Amino acid sequence: MALKSTIYKANLSIADMDRNYYADHALTIARHPSENDERMMIRLLAFALHADERMGFGKGLSDPDEPDVLTRDLTGAITHWIEVGQPDERAILKACGRAQQVSVLGYASSTDIWWRNIESKLTRTRNLTVQSVAAAQSQALAALAERSMNLQFSIQDASVMVTSERGSVQLDVVQLMTPKVD
C-alpha cells in the first residue's frame, strides 16, 4: 500500500522590501512521504522569495517533470519554474526551455560541490537564477515546521528573517547565478 502525503497548512505573511511585495498567502502543502521538514520548509522559502498571486506548488517529488513551485500565466503556461535542492543539469536545461524564468534554491551541505560540478554546463542559459542557503540555516528553518503554521517572512538585501510561534531564523540567500542580460 502506498503512503499518502501529509497535509500541512501555512499562513504566510510576506514583506519583501527588495521587490516591494507585501501580501498574505494561505497555503496547503502536500508533503510527499519521502520529503523531510527541511525540504518542505525550503519550498516555503522559495515561495516567499518569488511570491506572486498566481504562484502555487507543483507535484514536485511525485512528478519529476513538474517543478516544486511554479507560476502560471492566464493561459496556463508556466512563467516561473522553481526547483529546490540539487537537480541535475538536464532537468534545469529542460526547465529553461519550458518556462520564461527558472530558479533553483539549494540548501544542503553539498550544494557547493553540486554547483561546481554543473555550473559550466549551464553557461548558455539566459533565464536561470541559482541561489543557496547554508545547511545550518536550512536545518534551523526546518525546526519551525508544524502541521499548522503562521510564518512571517521579512526579506531585504538577500537576507530573510522567518518568524513563527516557535521562534525565528535568519537566512542568508547567496546568489550563485543570475540571468544573463543581453
pLDDT of residue 60: 63
Q: Which residue type is seen at 97?
A: G
Tell me whether residue 31 is in a domain. Answer: yes
Domain count, the chain: 1
Question: Any idea what the CATH number is for the domain that residue 131 is in?
Answer: 3.10.640.10
The C-alpha atoms of residue 163 and residue 12 are separated, in whole angstroms, by: 10
pLDDT values of the chain reduced to their tens digit, one per residue, 182 residues: 567 889 999 999 999 999 999 999 999 999 988 899 999 999 999 999 999 999 999 876 566 778 999 999 999 999 999 999 999 999 999 999 999 999 999 999 999 999 999 999 998 899 999 999 999 999 999 999 999 999 999 999 989 999 999 999 999 999 999 987 66
pLDDT of residue 2: 62
C-alpha cell at position 66: 513538474
Q: Which domain holds residue 168?
A: 10-177
Predicted TM-score (pTM) above 0.85: yes
- CA 131 to mean position of chain CA atoms: 9
Tell me whether residue 3 is in a domain. Answer: no
The C-alpha atoms of residue 49 and residue 127 are separated, in whole angstroms, by: 17
Q: Which of 6, 4, 5, 2 is nearest to 147 (CA)?
A: 6
Tell me whether residue 60 is in a domain. Answer: yes
